[in-house]
Amino acid sequence: MTMKSLSVKTISLAVAAAVALGGAMTAVAPSQASAGELAILTWEGYADSSITQKFEDETGCAISRTYVGSNDEFPAKLAAGGSIYDAVSPSLDTTGILAKMGVVEPIAIDMLPDWEDIYEGFRAHPSVAGAEGWLPPEGTVWAVPYSWGSIAWMYRSDKFDTPPDSIEIFWDPAYAGKLSIWDDKTNIYAVARYIFGRDVNVYDLSDDQLAQVRDKLIEAKPQMRKYWATAGELVNLYANGEVIFSNTWGGYQSALLIEQGIPMVEFIPKEKADGWQDAWQIVKGTPNMDCAKKFVVYMQSPHAQCQMSAVMGYSMANATAAKECLTPEMYESLHQGDWTYIDGLDFWQEPIRVDAVIETWNAVKAAQ
């Protein structure tokens, strides 16, 4: 699915309630899905049949899938009467937005048998456990951690004499038309670190800082072959020889390309890389609550976690499952339990002014 740009008016509807604690909540219409069906809004690959077939066979809950290309689609779709969905899987910079919008249900911890196996730092994240002003009821959480990883960078190793170690290549005319970045506001974070240094709080940028980032991204536009929206789109750009350098959903697209015989290298640039964590949430008011609850329980289970990692190449939230099903080599390569690596990533947070960040990214895309 191609990412849908969000106008300032859409931001007001979908996000304004999320950025103001105690603000007006957005209502959700009754779900359109039939009983015994589970309509999920998720990322490409997260509902692969090898992950979900066991759940469908055991519960009789038939899954229908809609994919997103950006976290911005979750609040937009749910605010716009995204009532055809029963469960969603945003990243932790968005789970809190949905909670404050009032469009997701609190999830009881005591119904999650694998909860204690989830990394403690993930269980305690404010966008899971809640924070002052939007705490869930006692004994519940807003989201169930599922996977994590980095927004790494990658390149075709046969196209570079000297391996790149920075995103500075964005502004090198030698690579005009050979680069690609994700069609997502998180490019602002990467460029902010490039301009202002590794320790800048990229989730609380001033108007002046956002303007500098905007202008720097616009300056890089002639270098870009395309802003990619889905995993498959980026893979095709590389496979067709159109792109030689991009950001990536760490561990996923590079593996698909290597399977095709294309020499790929992933790396963390000297400016640092984004870290992400995705989690499952239940849409408020779903008539398919039984299937939805069983689903979020299942997606923490060792079987689902191990299958997700096998399909996606992503790291697991379930620390116990990771030790049980990964080889020592895979465990190390996925940085499971490696808190030096985990703490070294700039994990996404909900931006202080999410509307200004999205408006900035839309201004980049609209620039000629």
Q: Does residue 267 carry a pLDDT above 70?
A: yes
**Average pLDDT score over residue span 49-68:** 96
pLDDT at residue 1, rounded to an integer: 27
pLDDT, one tens digit per residue, over 185-220 is: 999 999 999 999 999 999 999 999 999 999 999 999
Q: Strands of 104-238 (E only): list them.
A: 104-105, 107-108, 140-141, 144-156, 179-182, 224-228
Reduce the secondary structure of the chain to three states and give it as a string.
CCCCCCCHHHHHHHCHHHHCCCCCCCCCCCCCCCCCEEEEEEECCCCCHHHHHHHHHHHCCEEEEEEECCCCHHHHHHHCCCCCCCEECCECCCHHHHHHHCCEECEEHHHCCCHHHECHHHHCCHHHHCCCCCCCCCCEECCEEEEEEEEEEEEEHHHCCCCCCCHHHHHCHHHCCCEEEECCCCHHHHHHHHHHCCCCCCCCCCHHHHHHHHHHHHHHHHHEEEEECCHHHHHHHHHCCCCCEEEEECCCHHHHHHHCCCCEEEECCCCCCEEEEEEEEEECCCCCHHHHHHHHHHCCCHHHHHHHHHHHCCEECEHHHHHHHCCHHHHHHCCCCCHHHHHHCEECCCCCCHHHHHHHHHHHHHCC
Cα–Cα–Cα angle for 306, 105, 36, rounded to 5 degrees: 65
Residues 284 and 174 in one domain: no
Segments forming the whole domain that contains residue 311: 8-148+276-347
- For residue 300, is it within any domain? yes
Q: In CATH, what number is assigned to the domain containing residue 243?
A: 3.40.190.10
pLDDT at residue 13, rounded to an integer: 39
pLDDT, one tens digit per residue, over 93-128 is: 999 999 999 999 999 999 999 999 999 989 999 999
- For residue 1, is it within any domain? no
Residues 205 and 319 in one domain: no
* Prediction pTM value: 0.81
Residues 266 and 280 in one domain: no
- For residue 2, is it within any domain? no
- For residue 169, is it within any domain? yes
Residue with tokens 């869930």: 136
pLDDT, one tens digit per residue, over 147-188 is: 999 999 999 999 999 999 999 999 999 999 999 999 999 999
Residues 71 and 92 in one domain: yes
pLDDT at residue 36, rounded to an integer: 78
- Domains: count for the chain: 2
Residues 317 and 231 in one domain: no
Residues 330 and 264 in one domain: no
- For residue 28, is it within any domain? yes
- For residue 303, is it within any domain? yes
- For residue 241, is it within any domain? yes
pLDDT, one tens digit per residue, over 231-248 is: 999 999 999 999 999 999
- For residue 16, is it within any domain? yes
Residues 359 and 219 in one domain: yes
Residue type, 130: G
pLDDT at residue 83, rounded to an integer: 67
Residues 263 and 204 in one domain: yes
Report d(CA 289, CA 63) in Å as an integer.
Answer: 13
User: Which residues, in sequence order, are CB contacts of 216 under 8 Å at separation 6+?
Assistant: 171, 191, 194, 195
Residue 231 burial (CB count, 10 A) = 20
Here the tokens at position 126 are: 């404010």
Residues 47 and 186 in one domain: no
Residues 192 and 141 in one domain: no
Residues 220 and 357 in one domain: yes
Residues 258 and 303 in one domain: no
